[in-house]
């Protein structure tokens, strides 16, 4: 049985991860660091509300074997490139640093397909820099999830994302071979894959895209 720390629990994938973690007997305690209350009661749940600009103040609560970071935004939702950089790079890296210092063994983070510090696209470049900085930390295990468009019902409205999903859903089956990783993927599958990988706890650095995410999701069981 393991203790897990979850951030991003109010987001699309994070909400599903939280439900699975609370249901799964493998996890004895679920610690959540969030900016907003979850309004969720469960004996396994420990909730800590904080401004993410002050994560060090909660460093004592980072003592968990496994860390799952589901933080993520868009430039539009964040309000600026600078704020997007904070949410999708600075916060995940700082969480990884604090958690490792407190003894965490496995860090798991949602990134994006095409993430690369040399990308021409700002979004992908930020994700790539985040990945590189996380990989510098000497964790026993690092799991990086690189989904394409995430399919699911968000609380916030992302117009461009919804339009992209409408176009890509019917075209997804046409993407074969090395292009299959660009198919939209259900938030439920990403969350199930994350929890499956958390329980397997494979040593080393592992990437999960398209088919691998779906395969892990299919193999997950409580």
Verify whether residue 127 is a known catalytic residue.
yes
d(CA 6, CA 64): 10
Residue-level pLDDT at 1: 80
From 44, 46, 102, 123, active-site residue:
123
Q: Helix H segments across the chain?
A: 12-23, 75-78, 81-85, 91-101, 122-135, 159-171, 187-200, 210-219
Residue-level pLDDT at 161: 52
Residue-level pLDDT at 222: 83
| Confidence band, pLDDT 50/70/90 cuts, at residue 39 | confident
On average, the pLDDT of the chain sits at 90
Cα within 13 Å of Cα(195), Cβ side: 27
Predicted confidence (pLDDT) at residue 95 exceeds the cutoff of 60: yes
Q: Please classify residue 104 by burial: count the beta carbons closer than 10 Å to its beta carbon, then call 0-12 exposed, 13-18 middle and 19+ buried.
A: buried
Predicted confidence (pLDDT) at residue 99 exceeds the cutoff of 80: yes
Q: Is the pTM of this model over 0.85?
A: yes
Predicted confidence (pLDDT) at residue 117 exceeds the cutoff of 90: yes
Range 73-93 average pLDDT: 95
For 183-204, write each residue's pLDDT tens digit: 789 999 999 999 999 999 999 9
Verify whether residue 139 is a known catalytic residue.
no
Take residue 215 and report the two structure tokens written for it. Answer: 């395969």
**92 or 156, which is more confident:** 92
Residue that has been written with the tokens 């690189």 in this structure? 146
* 2-219 topology per CATH: Rossmann fold (3.40.50)
Residue-level pLDDT at 149: 87
From 86, 127, 181, 214, active-site residue:
127
For 206-220, write each residue's pLDDT tens digit: 999 989 999 999 999
| Confidence band, pLDDT 50/70/90 cuts, at residue 177 | low
Take residue 221 and report the two structure tokens written for it. Answer: 């069981």
Predicted confidence (pLDDT) at residue 28 exceeds the cutoff of 70: yes
Residue-level pLDDT at 70: 98
Residue-level pLDDT at 127: 98
For 129-176, write each residue's pLDDT tens digit: 999 999 999 999 999 999 998 986 655 555 555 555 455 555 556 556
């Amino acid at each position: 049985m393991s203790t897990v720390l979850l951030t991003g629990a109010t987001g699309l994938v994070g909400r599903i991860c939280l439900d699975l973690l609370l249901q799964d007997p493998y996890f004895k305690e679920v610690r959540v660091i969030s900016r907003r209350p979850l309004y969720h009661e469960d004996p396994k749940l420990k909730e800590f509300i904080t401004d993410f600009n002050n994560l060090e103040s909660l460093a004592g609560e980072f003592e968990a074997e496994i860390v799952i970071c589901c933080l993520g935004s868009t430039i539009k939702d964040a309000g600026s490139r600078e704020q997007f950089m904070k949410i999708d790079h600075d916060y995940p890296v700082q969480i990884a640093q604090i958690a490792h210092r407190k003894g965490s063994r496995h860090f798991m983070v949602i990134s994006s397909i095409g993430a690369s510090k040399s990308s021409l696209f700002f979004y992908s470049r930020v994700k790539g820099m985040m990945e590189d900085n996380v990989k510098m930390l000497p964790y026993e295990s690092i799991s990086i999830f690189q989904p394409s468009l995430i399919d699911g019902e968000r609380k916030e409205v992302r117009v461009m994302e919804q339009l992209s999903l409408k176009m890509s859903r019917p075209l997804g089956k046409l993407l074969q071979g090395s292009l299959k990783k660009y198919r939209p993927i259900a938030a439920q599958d990403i969350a199930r894959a994350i929890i499956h990988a958390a329980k397997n706890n494979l040593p080393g650095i592992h990437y999960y895209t398209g088919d691998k995410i779906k395969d892990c999701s299919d193999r997950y069981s409580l």
